[in-house]
Structure 1
């Protein structure tokens, strides 16, 4: 939950600007926002690579920049607050924007947020180098990783050290912001143009949520006084000169930063004719018009940077794709056999284990592994029995055993599962589509499933159970929900019908979401044709 933030603020529509040319109003707006932002969320998208050991890095097609524009600026009508810019790297000439991005990545006055952004930076640097920018990008600082923000929030909440699990961004958003961040389009082809509106919305949300998570973090840090305990130092040390501060390494870094900013202002105020021989550092700092416009970071933010900030630094070894460490080993015939197995199970041959010819009951049943759990929910929504593994991290043998025991077809996207020798024929199917809607259509067509409108929403999406056939009244639903589930008060006056899962007890009702879901699956399954 988010105790100190306005939920309406979190869920309001994003202001997204698609930048595809340097002479466009969107690009002008991007430069304007970058020069006035103290925090920027970074993310990148590229076409998924099919090879497990590519010889080159993927080409980044889209760079997302979510800007936290400072308020009270010179043109309030232009201010979006937190606009998101989608920079189309396949359309914009990369040499023309390299300097701008380089300034942003290295500016000490802009805090950069990311989610494991080092890999993105590798691919981004490689993409620019291929397009003639020899330097590419080698660093991002100051930088705060959202994974570390999440671990810190959990540690403060639980009062103990938290094990650093590799939490996904969707999981972090769910726990910190109480919002669901769909990752359905993550593996879509980002190199194709034009991008769909769904892709643009997905990309924008991925970057913008970094700002929202950091807002929660910043609010909690400020509330505990971690950013407000240094005011006295500012007043006590304000009269000290820059030379004295540099001599004493124990002085507060915030005061040193303030003094450096003051010194930089003085240097910028001196004309080239008055002082033609500027020192190299100062000259580099004011070389870019964008960098010169960026305002100094506020004290509270500087203290967060000091305590939690870090730097992404790419070494020479990071600029080359990693190759296999197994040297001198020749390919054996086993690999060829496994490849044959993959091709065998990649296409469905039938009959399925529920077929009457092989002793089945005629009811289609599937087992969806962790890679296609979203497909399991879609199958349940159209009335198909779709189970998920008994454990969160099942072994391949366990998956096969469960599928055989329950007479199910195992659905997966994991090619490694197809290589095990103990797999039985007609027991596993590799789903080719990436998006859940397309996966659903693929399974329906492959197994020739009969879907009718009466089947829609007839299974529990939570546990795969069946619903009680007779709808519950409001009074019966309230009684069934006691100590288990909360029914919103706004539903009591609408005379709705409720259903309850016979297995897990979950309650459902015919609200707006229900009708939208029914219409969605009517369209996906083409039931109205």
Structure 2
């Protein structure tokens, strides 16, 4: 059932790589000027500790002759993703949604600065983002470095963070502070939209050209689905009629004073007669202070490097392999049902295993101790799957039940595990487990009426599903609802291929 690995997204992506009279750039600027809601995201090359770029030094000279480290610098933003929607937000406008991926290494920044600044500050356009303040800091620094110190950006208003929307839809008490550990965008999309965003390309080199098709689709999805989340927000406001001035969607204690009051101009962007003045009751501002524009040196202390001729006692043999039989093997008293435990480095593999009907657990702790992982592995008769070679040295504690996954991408990892452990996957097993909690589904599908009743106060079912003849399923453990939509059928086809199942 959905959620499932994201199929090709339901939108066309326009890659903007030219300046001046470029038709793609011209269309982008027209869309920005006509938009009433704009979703924004940005990408930059990840910076790794210890690299010359991160340290700010030349990297090749000896310690004695090395120059003084240069001041730390912000990463250069190389990609800007923009999803635009104008009009009243109805179905026709959804179809006319424009999604752009702007290559900032190819488009002259001078052609973009004024339109972007005007967009960021235009009161009649609601801007959406996910923790966008850091993106704005890096984006401002990128433009300032290229065009001069005054060419940065210092504000975005009105702005609405989808994290706040998420907690609003989940019924969070707005009188209380939001949890410190906020949800990831992938988690929010999965819980609210039943869309599984792959984050395999999140740390790819965004400065390398040409961009792959996967990178372009990944980047575009991060902006596009912000609009879908916003639609759920409007749907709930419309359904419940909660539009009183006392209901403000605050972000955290630093932003509670920046809520924008009702506008008398009434920019119509919502269905059902709602105006921009209502939407802005839930919005805020992003304001960059002077301290935000100055990079800070990392507070982490670099560990001293060992000389190359010093032998490390704890050095692990990376060639160490798992050796069978697996703990579920009937010949050694197992029940014949494969069970795995995936560490935090490969949580995506756990969801793929669940999609093909395999029991794959994940520890709730984000930083579990090795013994915690191994204790659960041993007690529950699982095999621990990891990318961390250091865990292999603990194999003796779990009766040789640790396997190091070599592949990087989730589909390749799934194929590797299926091949290594000779897993037999049938078509009936596909999409038979909950990708959220690893639970199983009830034996019969729910009707639409039963699904709507089960979702009350727990999950929002998109209204576009009401007129479709779909089957709904409910997890017996966490009560998450799923439906056999387009993503389900696309995912089934994909997993049929990965698992070598004849359709």
Q: TM-score scaled by structure 2?
A: 0.64
**Change in 2 beyond 3 A, CA 1:440/1:221:** closer
Q: 1:380 to 1:200 in 2, by over 3 A?
A: same
Separation in structure 2 between the aligned mates of residue 385 and residue 490 of structure 1, nearest angstrom: 34
Residue equivalent to 2:276: 301
CA shift in 2, pair 1:71/1:511, >3 Å: closer
Q: CA deviation at 1:185?
A: 4.3
> Secondary structure of the residue that 1:66 maps to in structure 2?
strand
- Name the structure 2 match of 1:16: 13
Contact residue 367 and residue 408 of structure 1 kept, 8 A: yes
Q: How does 1:319-468 map to 2 (within 5 A)?
A: 319-326=294-301, 337=312, 340-341=315-316, 344=317, 347-352=319-324, 354=326, 365-382=339-356, 385-389=359-363, 394-413=368-387, 426-431=400-405, 433-444=407-418, 448-451=420-423, 454=426, 457=429, 460-462=432-434
CA distance in 1, matches of 2:292, 2:243: 41
RCO greater where, 1 or 2, for CA within 8 Å and sep 6 or more? 2
Gap runs ≥5 in structure 2: 1-7, 56-72, 248-259, 456-464
Q: Distance in 2 between matches of 1:59 and 1:336?
A: 39
Pairwise CA distance, 1:88: 1.6
> Please, which of 102, 111, 115 is the counterpart of residue 96 of structure 1?
111
The superposition leaves residues 37-76 of structure 1 with CA deviations (integer Å, 9 ceiling, x where unpaired) of 233211112344454894454443321112232469xxxx
Task: Name the SS for the 1:87 alignment partner.
Answer: strand
Distance 1:421 1:51 in 2: 30
Deviation of 1:433 (Å):
4.4
SS for the counterpart of 1:35 is helix
Q: Assess if the C-alpha contact under 8 Å between 1:353 and 1:409 holds in 2.
A: no
Name the SS for the 2:315 alignment partner. Answer: helix
Query: Match for 1:29 among 27, 30, 50?
Result: 27
Structure with higher helix content: 1
The partner residue of 1:141 within 156, 179, 182 is 156
Aligned to 2:41: 43
Q: May I ask how many residue pairs the two structures share in their alignment?
A: 433
Is the radius of gyration larger for structure 1 or structure 2? 1
Partner residue of 1:200?
216
Residues of 1 paired with 2:356 and 2:262: CA distance? 59
Question: 2:97 aligned with 1:82, yes or no?
Answer: yes
- The change in CA–CA distance for 1:105 and 1:519 in structure 2 (over 3 A counts) is closer
State the shift of 1:148 in Å: 2.8
Deviation digits for residues 153-207 of structure 1, max 9, x if unmatched? 545x7686364350222343455x5442423445262444444545434433321
| Cα distance in 2 for residues equivalent to 1:217 and 1:508 | 20
TM-score of the two chains, using structure 1 as the length reference: 0.62
Contact kept, 8 Å, 1:109 with 1:297, in 2: the verdict is: no
Decide whether the 8 Å contact of 2:245 with 2:281 is kept in 1: no
**Inter-CA distance 403–370: structure 2 relative to 1 (3 Å threshold):** same
Aligned residue among 154, 157, 166 for 2:182: 166
The aligned counterpart of 1:238 is none
Q: 1:180: which partner in 2?
A: 195
Find the aligned partners of 2:284 and 2:85 in 1 and give their Cα distance. Answer: 17
Distance 2:143 2:50 in 1: 23
* Contact residue 88 and residue 268 of structure 2 kept, 8 A: no
Aligned-pair CA distance for 1:79: 11
Q: Report SS of the residue matched to 2:376.
A: helix
What's the offset of the Cα at 1:26?
Answer: 1.6
User: Could you list the per-position Cα deviations for residues 501-521 of structure 1 after superposition, in whole angstroms to 9, with x for gaps in the alignment?
Assistant: 999999999998777545423
Residues 414 and 106 (structure 1 numbering): CA distance in 2 closer, same or farther, change over 3 Å?
farther
Any unmatched runs of 5+ in structure 1?
1-10, 230-251, 259-294
**Match of residue 85 from structure 2:** 68
Change (3 A) 1:500 1:313: closer
Inter-partner Cα distance in structure 1 for 2:466 and 2:125: 45
1:457-490 deviations in whole A, cap 9, x for unaligned? 279423768999xxx9x8xx89xxx99999x999
Check the 8 A contact 2:117/2:153 in 1, yes or no: no
Distance 1:131 1:162, change over 3 A: closer
